Amino acid sequence: MTIQDASIIEVHGLAKRFGDVQAVAGIDFDVREGELFGFLGPNGAGKSTTINMLIGLARADAGTIRIAGIDGSKNPKAAQHLMGVVPDESNLYPELTGFENLSFCGALYGMPKRDREARAKELLDRFGLAKAANRKFGGYSKGMKRKLTIAAGIIHAPPILFMDEPTTGIDVASARQIRQLIADLNTAGTTIFLTTHYIEEAQRLCGRIAFIVRGRIVRTDTVEELMRRMDGRHVVRFAVSSGAAEVCEAIVAKWPNLHCQAVAEDHIRVESSEPVRVGPLVRLLEDRGAEVSEARKLRPSLEDVFVEITGIEAGAMKQEKEQPGKGGGR
């Protein structure tokens, strides 16, 4: 996909407060035409509030939003013509069939009957839902619901698509298919604004990423630039029989230049700015009575960059989001 230099979404000084909570605290960013822009942050960071202000479901206390040159704060209805929205919940109508849902969503954007029915059939085929077209949405599996919700978001072929946590809570195979659909949409020219808590998903899909923490954007950059921070970092992961926290303490005590983290009761992660020599580490671990079943050198990931920039453990962020009843900052 060729990315144009022109910004299709421009946000300046955007702020929103709910009572005592400053949900979004004067953020600035822009999304270029044809870009797949990732918006990453922990639960309650302000992702959903930001997306709601961009799509016209929430009013900003301060700041400006321009969507393809339209003032989105003052004239959200004009901007809504240009956007499709995939919310974090599959919120189509359970009593309508898949085909009826898509046709209805097309009608909401003023598509004539023949056009929207043809487009609905095309999308049902493309998303592998043709056989379920005449089944009620309420009877779909989670993965099918998610796919139909994405199809509903693009029924009117919008140039901009907002996707809020598109792969949360669905099985691995469906998530993989959806990631491919997102990549294909972007390749076909759709500008995509994606919020996700799956950092590896953002790393795989997005061109640029903004990290948002406590309502503030702490870093916006391309994935390549973000990863450059980790150049020269060396990471080894060990599977140990037990006592991960204790052996970490022993490692750091002996080699203060190493950073060691117990990522689980039976896994440790050792990081250094110099190549990590595995042999002495294994010997130390075994001397401490921790049997080592695996030692694997890892390439530093965007997750490491996220942790370094935000100080938030990505694993904790993922678990928090996946707990029932926890959503975004809506």
Partner 1 sequence: MKAWIAFWNILAKDFRAYYLKPPNISWGLIFPLAWTGMFFIRSGAGLDSVPALLPGVIAVSVLFGTTSLLSVTVTFEKKGRSFERLLLAPIPLELLMVAKTGGAILFGIANAFVPVIFAAFLMDLSAVNWATLVPAIVLIAISSTFLGLFIAVSVSEVFEAQTFSNFFRFPMLFLCGLFFPIEPLPVWLRPLSYALPLTYGADVLHGSIHRSPHLPLPVDFGLLLAFCAVLFGLSLRNIRRKWIV
Interface with partner 1 (CB under 8 A): 18, 55-59, 77-78, 80-81, 85, 87, 89, 91-96, 104-105, 107-112, 152
The least CB distance from residue 77 to partner 1, in Å, is 5
C-alpha closest to that of 167 among 139, 191, 200: 200
The least CB distance from residue 287 to partner 1, in Å, is 57
Please identify, using beta-carbon distances, which residue of 166 and 207 lies nearer to partner 1: 166
Please identify, using beta-carbon distances, which residue of 69 and 94 lies nearer to partner 1: 94
Rounded to whole angstroms, what are the CA distances from 97 to 121, 127, 150? 12, 15, 15
Please identify, using beta-carbon distances, which residue of 110 and 275 lies nearer to partner 1: 110
Please identify, using beta-carbon distances, which residue of 93 and 255 lies nearer to partner 1: 93
DSSP-H helix ranges across 8-87: 47-55, 76-80
The residue to which tokens 């678990």 are assigned: 319
Q: Which two tokens stand for residue 162?
A: 């907002």
The least CB distance from residue 103 to partner 1, in Å, is 8
The least CB distance from residue 310 to partner 1, in Å, is 27
Per the CB < 8 A criterion, the answer to whether 233 and 276 are in contact is no
Its sign, for the CA torsion 308, 312, 318, 319, is positive
C-alpha closest to that of 216 among 42, 39, 26: 26
The least CB distance from residue 197 to partner 1, in Å, is 19
Please identify, using beta-carbon distances, which residue of 153 and 243 lies nearer to partner 1: 153
3-state secondary structure of 207: coil
